[in-house]
């Protein structure tokens, strides 16, 4: 029986930069009552609070929830409140090199958008995130920019040559996440194993970017049983199935 269910956030539990809808919030609340849950996503802590926590009941079941923003480069646990256990932040020199390289690639590939909504390059401390149309772009605009990942794959190839000492992953709808080398969702999975004392074989990972180069792929590489989903609606059906299986297992024991 699995002891920990790990989810991506954007594109898995909710639409990009959007809050959990009522159905997903209810399903997650039910899941938290019967098993430990973790969320690892490229978003920063504020995004986790707005998209996820503000839509879940503030009760004792939050102790079953682990939060790993910025692709596992940070880790939060709930005790009397939310506490940060670690943060793998960039140095100022590393930060500057990544931002400079991103700007160079955007210019060389002519991928600068004519209209943007919010920051295009965001410093999240332990992660630099490129969002082609800005952090607050409407979902319908974001879905049109790079639906088949062609643009971002070209960017990743160029960035891998320029900054090979960092991890470059595709995430979200228009984004690229850059972290320290080896500090990615696989690192987050290993931290969950270490901190919660749960074996990787006792985990399930659910995400929408489990393809090579996607920011969920390192979790799969870490050896977690992984379930690829298309969107949050498909994730709901997966959560329902997990709840049914876990409830049956607990009833039979």
Positions marked active-site: 8, 10
The answer to the question of whether 123 is labelled as a binding residue is no
**Nearest to 155, CA basis, from 125, 185, 178, 135:** 178
**Nearest to 13, CA basis, from 27, 30, 2, 3:** 27
The answer to the question of whether 230 is labelled as a binding residue is no
**Nearest to 119, CA basis, from 144, 138, 137:** 137
The answer to the question of whether 124 is labelled as a binding residue is yes
Residue 74's DSSP bridge partners are 87
Please report, in range form, the residues annotated as the binding site for Mg(2+).
Answer: 8, 10, 208
Please report, in range form, the residues annotated as the binding site.
Answer: 8, 10, 124, 175, 177, 208
Please report, in range form, the residues annotated as the binding site for alpha-D-mannose 1-phosphate.
Answer: 124, 175, 177
């Amino acid at each position: 029986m699995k002891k920990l269910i790990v989810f991506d956030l954007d594109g898995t539990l909710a639409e990009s930069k959007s809050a959990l809808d009522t159905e997903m919030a209810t399903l997650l609340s039910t899941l938290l009552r019967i098993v430990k849950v973790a969320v690892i996503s490229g978003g920063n802590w504020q995004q986790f609070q707005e998209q996820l926590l503000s839509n879940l009941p503030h009760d004792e079941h939050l102790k079953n929830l682990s939060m790993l923003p910025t692709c596992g480069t940070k880790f939060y646990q709930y005790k009397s409140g939310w506490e940060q256990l670690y943060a793998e932040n960039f140095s100022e020199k590393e930060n500057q090199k990544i931002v400079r390289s991103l700007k160079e690639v955007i210019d060389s590939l002519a991928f600068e958008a004519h209209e943007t909504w919010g920051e295009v390059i965001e410093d999240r401390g332990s992660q630099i995130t490129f969002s082609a149309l800005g952090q607050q772009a409407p979902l319908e605009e974001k879905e049109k920019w790079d639906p088949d990942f062609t643009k971002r794959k070209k960017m990743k190839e160029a960035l891998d040559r320029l900054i090979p000492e960092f991890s470059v992953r595709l995430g979200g709808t228009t984004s690229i996440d850059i972290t320290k080398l080896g500090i990615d969702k696989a690192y987050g999975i290993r931290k969950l194993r270490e901190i919660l004392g749960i074996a990787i074989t006792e985990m399930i990972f659910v995400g929408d970017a489990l393809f090579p180069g996607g920011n969920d792929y390192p979790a799969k590489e870490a050896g977690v049983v992984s379930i690829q989903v298309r969107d949050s609606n498909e994730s709901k059906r997966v959560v329902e199935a997990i709840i049914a299986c876990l409830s049956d297992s607990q009833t039979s024991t």
